[in-house]
Amino acid sequence: MTFPYYPLLSFRRLSLVLVALVGFAATSCKDKKDDPQPPQNIVQVAQSNPVFSILVAAITKADLAGTLSGGDLFTVLAPTNAAFTQLPAPYNTADNIAAITDAGQIATLRGILLYHVLPGRKPATDFPAGASTQTTAKPASTGINDNTVYVSKNGSTITLNGVARIASDDLAASNGIIHAIDKVLLPPTRRISELVVAAASGPAPEFTLLLAALQRPAAAELLAAVNNPAANLTVFAPTDAAFRALLPQLMATNLSDVPDATLLPILRLHVVSSRAFSPDLRTGALPTLGGTVTVGMSSTGLTVSGSGNTTGSATVVNPNLLAVNGVVHVIDRVLRP
């Protein structure tokens, strides 16, 4: 019987192949054994992190634990305990939240929480540079935009609605991702006009002169704009003290002494035809309905001035008041064209 001839080199190659295969199989088994377990779901991640204990209590009370533990992917903008403590009772502690029995308060809490939930998994790198918007899981109210979060990304800093910052991003979960934020986001409930009216009629009245100016028949177009729920505006709102300081410059004792031809150009200079939160404003020229104003920075913060503000700029003293149809920045000086 004749046997086939295999050179010695072939047997050596075969041995090497067998050794490699055995090594690969052993490594594969080891890798499979060392694979980490899938991460916890969103609720479990929150439960395992003590800075989210109030959030966990809120999720439980609002009956959202099942939703955020399921198979759908979500991104949660998760307020820390320090963020919740800035809210009024009963939403400021875990014990207070657990004790809520009023159906209206529970519905309010649920709406607030859903305003922090985005569909899909969105790591911080998915938010584009500059200004952008995200539609939340909160159902929109009829006829108004109250379920949108406004994102401002400057470098590695991400700000939401101009007021909350992402303090710790990309906490992985099996069904999404968590970004810890330093303030609770509150869905807007009022139009710009309603914010002005509410402040003017509050216990410490403010914007009474701005409201009087907007209620002039000659200002009907501007009043309609800030009252339009579908609008998307930025309003620089002078305080009453700012208007009172303006009157002597206009040789007037009362606002009613100022003619429409003078007042209307001033009002238009305070309205921008797009929504801009303070992180979105850049130093330099900013077009308004009444011409261009100049945005700047000082030791006291953001400033705005018109060409007629020869004695100093207005300082933004209370920025980023969110409305369903825009944003209001309170200023301490009236802008002059």
Overall CATH class of domain 42-181: mainly beta
Mean pLDDT score, 216-240: 98
- pTM reported for the whole predicted model: 0.88
- pLDDT of residue 13 exceeding 60, the answer is no
Closest CA to 87 of 67, 66, 117, 57: 57
Q: How far apart are CA 205 and CA 240, in angstroms?
A: 9
The pLDDT value recorded for residue 299 is 87
Ranges in the chain annotated CATH 2.30.180.10: 42-181, 192-331
Give dist(CA 252, CA 274) in Å, integer. Answer: 32
Above 90 in pLDDT, residue 6?
no
- pLDDT greater than 90 at residue 39: no
The overall average pLDDT reported for the chain is: 91
Q: What is the pLDDT of residue 51?
A: 98
Helices (H), 238-331: 240-249, 260-268
Given a cut of 90, whether residue 23 has pLDDT beyond it is no
> Sorting pLDDT into bands at 50, 70 and 90, what band is 38?
low
The total of other beta-carbon atoms located within 10 Å of residue 189's CB is 14
pLDDT in tens, 78-127: 999 999 999 999 999 999 999 999 999 999 999 999 999 999 999 999 99
Provide the greatest CA pair distance for the chain: 126
Homologous superfamily (CATH) for 192-331: FAS1 domain (2.30.180.10)
pLDDT at 36: 59
Q: Whole-angstrom Cα distance, residue 158 to residue 127? A: 8
What's the burial of 276, exposed, middle or buried (CB within 10 Å: 0-12/13-18/19+)? buried
Burial of residue 200 (CB within 10 Å: 0-12, 13-18, 19+) is: middle
**Lowest model confidence (mean pLDDT) among 3-7, 211-215, 279-283:** 3-7
